[in-house]
Structure 1
Amino acid sequence: MITWPVAELIPHAGDMILIDQVESFDEEQILTRLTVRPDGLFNRADGSLPAWVGVEMMAQSIAAFAGCRARLSGKPAALGFLLGTRKFESNVEHFPLGAELVIHATRSLEDENGMGIFECHLTGPGIDVQARLNVYSPPHPARYLAEDNAQESPHD
Structure 2
Amino acid sequence: MSSPQRPLGVADLVPHRGTMSWLDRVISVDAEHAVAEADIRGSSLFVRDGRLDVWIGIEYMAQTIALWAGHRARQEGRPIALGFLVGTRRYDVQRQSFKVGECLRIQADCELMAGNGLGMFRCQILVGDETAALANLSVFEPQEGAQFLNFPKG
TM norm. shorter chain > 0.5: yes
- AA at the equivalent of 1:140: E
Secondary structure of 1:112's match? coil
Query: Aligned equivalents of 2:89 and 2:22: distance in 1?
Result: 21
Residue type of the alignment partner of 1:31:
V
Q: Secondary structure of 1:54's partner?
A: helix
In the aligned structure 2, how far is the partner of 1:127 from the partner of 1:114?
A: 29
Deviations 1:116-145 (CA, angstroms, capped at 9, x unpaired):
000001000444210010000001223322
Which residue pairs with 1:152 in the alignment? none
Q: How many residues align?
A: 146
Report if aligned partners of 1:10, 1:78 keep a CA contact under 8 Å in 2.
no
Q: How does 1:39-58 map to 2 (within 5 A)?
A: 39-46=43-50, 48-58=51-61
Residue number in structure 1 paired with 2:86: 83
Q: Does 1:12 align with 2:44?
A: no
Root mean square deviation, CA, Å: 1.8
Is 1:101 equivalent to 2:113 in the alignment? no
Q: Deviations over 1:86-145 (max 9, x none)?
A: 210111110111111111111111100100000001000444210010000001223322
Identity %: 39
Moved more, 53-62 or 72-81: 72-81
Amino acid at match of 2:71: C
Q: 2:122 and 2:139 mapped to 1: Cα distance?
A: 11
After TM superposition, the score normalised by the length of structure 2 is 0.87
Q: Deviations over 1:58-109 (max 9, x none)?
A: 0000001001111223322110000101210111110111111111111111
The match for 1:153 is none
Q: CA deviation at 1:21?
A: 1.1
Residue range with higher mean Cα deviation, 18-27 or 114-123: 18-27
Gaps in structure 2 of 5+ consecutive residues: 1-5
